[in-house]
Chain A
Amino acid sequence: MSTSTSRVRVELPAHLRHLANVGREVDLTIVGPVTQRTILDALEARYTMLEGTIRDHKTKLRRPFVRFFACEEDLSHLLPDDPLPDAVALGEEPFLIVGAIAGG
């Protein structure tokens, strides 16, 4: 049985770009299904300083004011293991990690 490998584009908000010292987008290699969990696992493995900033250290739940968008859809409420759109898995569209609009 073969395991698929995907190259996924992830776009970070400015605060996390500065923290990780990266540009707007990072490319990640995902082995197996492309889901929120596998993307965040790969992102945190490469940029350990991002642990805890997007999802809780322990529960692995998304922080309340963080949103996940892709393909002009809000994917924030998908379950962590739900598959993401094919365009994300194929690297055609970025997976956007966004700081929610809040405040005045």
Chain B
Amino acid sequence: MSQLRLLVGTRKGAFILTSDGVRKEWSVTGPHFAGWEIYHLKGSPVDPNRIYASQTSGWFGQVVQRSDDGGQTWSPISNKFPYDGVPGTHQWYDGTPHPWEFKRVWHIEPSLTCPDTLYAGVEDAALFRSTDAGQSWNELSGLRTHGTGPAWQPGAGGMCLHTILLDPTNHDRIFVAISAAGAFRTDNGGKSWKPINQGLHSLYIPDPTAEVGHCVHHMALHPSRPQTLFMQKHWDVMRTDDAGDSWHEISGNLPTDFGFVIDVHAHEPETLYVVPIKSDSEHFPLDGQLRVYRSRSGGNDWEALTKGLPQSNCYVNVLRDAMAVDSLDSCGVYFGTTGGQVYASSDAGDNWQAIVHDLPAVLSVEVQTLP
């Protein structure tokens, strides 16, 4: 029977939850790296026992860890993320130029084909790659230097590269998203990049249809259709079917189209999940009711999923990297909240249970489906 391993990053450490394929009983280990903020953990698809973790602290900076035994033991790997050349400036909150400064790693994306290759999305926004299992990092500086970089500006959470999507059918194609610059694509393995924000409309920036400046919160794709991307923007849920060359809105009947997470069913490329959040100034669910919304038609038509989720007095948030799906026949869906709950559904979202209640605020959730 398959095993599930859930990798949960929180404000005060990492937790690893495991279960069998039934997904009813879960055991919890942790906190790993107690007291540190764990922005993200992710396992290699090639070698699932190899897991990378971004460990960070306002006091002691960035540490990156690697486990080669499924999270039982860890070793620090390189935390040197040198920008290529003279990094130059981006816009600061007040519009003045501000030097690029490394702050932390938001997201780690292991290669789909090589366990020693991985990508790191960092703040201030840049993409780094390691080809030696994290012993050293090199910036793919064509992204930061392609021309619009000086116009990028931080969002409230900082100017972070938080989403990295690898095209499983074309190893030279990578998509990334940056708050608050937008989405970008490379078709040559990271040498050169182009903004892919046509069709986005953001009322909170001076030119709502600008080439860059959009606050993309998260993106997702289904591996069978890498031309199709789904995006939860600051406001608006969006879709592209041409690898980002043009986007259109699919918010449809959502009660609010603000939110952070978005994900795609493991076996149904037109089934999507979002968690609507009331607004950019009120980061909690509408009416105190925690509801996942599912579309089975690729967007626009959404249904509320509520069974097992709190439907009163719930004022948590669900952050951008805090949703994941497993690949069992009946797709499991998981998300974590800033209230420290991790909810799981073993039936594609119809029914939910809190598999852990009282963790520190959850920053990220990833799931590994193990043989």
Contacts and interface: CB of A to CB of B under 8 A. Distances in A.
Interface of A: 13-16, 18-19, 49, 51-54, 57-58, 63, 65-66, 99-100, 102
B61 A99 contact: no
A102 B57 CA distance: 12
Contacts of A66: 59-60
17 contacts: A14-B35, A15-B36, A15-B57, A15-B59, A15-B60, A19-B76, A49-B63, A51-B79, A52-B61, A52-B62, A52-B63, A52-B80, A53-B63, A53-B79, A63-B59, A65-B58, A100-B59
A12 to B, nearest CB: 10
Contacts of A63: 59-61
Nearest to A52: B79
The 9 closest A-B pairs by CB, nearest first: A49-B76, A53-B60, A65-B59, A99-B59, A52-B79, A57-B80, A53-B61, A52-B61, A15-B60
A102 B62 CA distance: 18
Contacts of A13: 59-60
Interface in B79-95: 79-80, 82
Contacts of B60: 13, 15-16, 19, 53-54, 63, 66, 99
- The A interface is mostly helix, strand or loop, or mixed, namely loop
Contacts of B79: 51-53, 57
A52 B36 CA distance: 15
A6 to B, nearest CB: 26
Interface in B40-91: 57-63, 76, 79-80, 82
Contacts of B34: 18
Contacts of A99: 59-60
Contacts of A49: 63, 76
A69 to B, nearest CB: 15
A63 B57 CA distance: 11
A97 B79 CA distance: 20
Given A16-B60, A52-B61, A52-B80, 15 more contacts: A15-B57, A15-B60, A19-B63, A49-B76, A51-B80, A52-B62, A52-B79, A53-B61, A53-B79, A57-B80, A57-B82, A63-B60, A63-B61, A65-B59, A102-B58
A54 B79 CA distance: 13
A71 B73 CA distance: 38
A21 B82 CA distance: 26
A51 B62 CA distance: 10
A1 B61 CA distance: 40
Interface in B2-52: 33-36
Contacts of A54: 60
Nearest to A56: B61
A14 to B, nearest CB: 7
Nearest to B35: A15
A100 to B, nearest CB: 7
A98 to B, nearest CB: 9
A15 B12 CA distance: 12
B84 to A, nearest CB: 13
B85 to A, nearest CB: 13
Contacts of A16: 60
Nearest to A54: B60
